Amino acid sequence: MRYDRVRAVEYANRWAYARNPEFFDFSELGGDCTNFASQCLYAGSGVMNYTPVFGWYYINASNRTASWTGVEFLYNFLINNKGVGPQGELVELKRIMAGDIVQLKFKEGPDFNHSPVVVDAGDGTPETVLVAAHSVDSNCRPLSSYVYRGIRPIHIYNVGT
């Protein structure tokens, strides 16, 4: 199935500065960025993966997978998913497209901390790639405006059904 980038970006633009009442706001519980990214991915894919533990789904705040709200868990799901739901691959920033995810690392250590959604890929440079995000709500924010120690562009290449 094809990933609908237009729908993902429309969702990001609609909810960048607000909260969709169908989803819990995790802002006070460590941040809402990956929850927001997952909502955008769901808008573009139209399916969830209900595999317990290692899938990617949201029913409510207490019935969801870690991949729906956790930066590292989302990465692991997208990169390793061969089943239902969005399937991703690491790419160079210049290959990123609107509707993809760019994860950022702000601290020392191996873990990434933030999952903004690409709303405009520009020419694939940090100055021209524009993202939307929650936690610090933003839309059309240049990637270069973040102070990050690491970057992980994830291109959604397919949606398994």
Predicted confidence band of residue 153 (pLDDT cuts 50, 70, 90): very high
Q: What is the pLDDT of residues 96-115, one digit of tens each?
A: 999 999 999 999 999 999 99
41 band by pLDDT with thresholds 50, 70 and 90: very high
CB 96 within 8 A of CB 151: no
Gap between the Cα atoms of 135 and 152, Å rounded = 19
Say if residue 1's pLDDT is above 90: no
- Specify the pLDDT at position 30: 85
Q: What are phi and psi of 10, to 5 degrees?
A: -60, -40
The pLDDT of residue 160: 96
Residue 97: other Cβ atoms inside 10 A: 17
The enclosing H or E element of 57 equals: none
Amino acid making up residue 22 = E
* Site of tokens 């956790």: 70
Interval 119-127 mean pLDDT: 98
CA distance 63 to 66: 10
77: helix, strand or coil: helix
* pTM of the predicted protein model: 0.97
Token code pair at residue 161: 């059904």
Torsion (CA) 159, 101, 59, 28 in degrees, nearest 10: 180
DSSP letter at 34 equals H
Our measurement of the distance from residue 83's CA atom to the centroid of its chain's CA atoms, rounded to an integer in Å, reads: 18
pLDDT tens, residue by residue, 133-148:
999 999 999 999 999 9
| Helix axes 33-45 and 71-80, enclosed angle (nearest 10) | 30
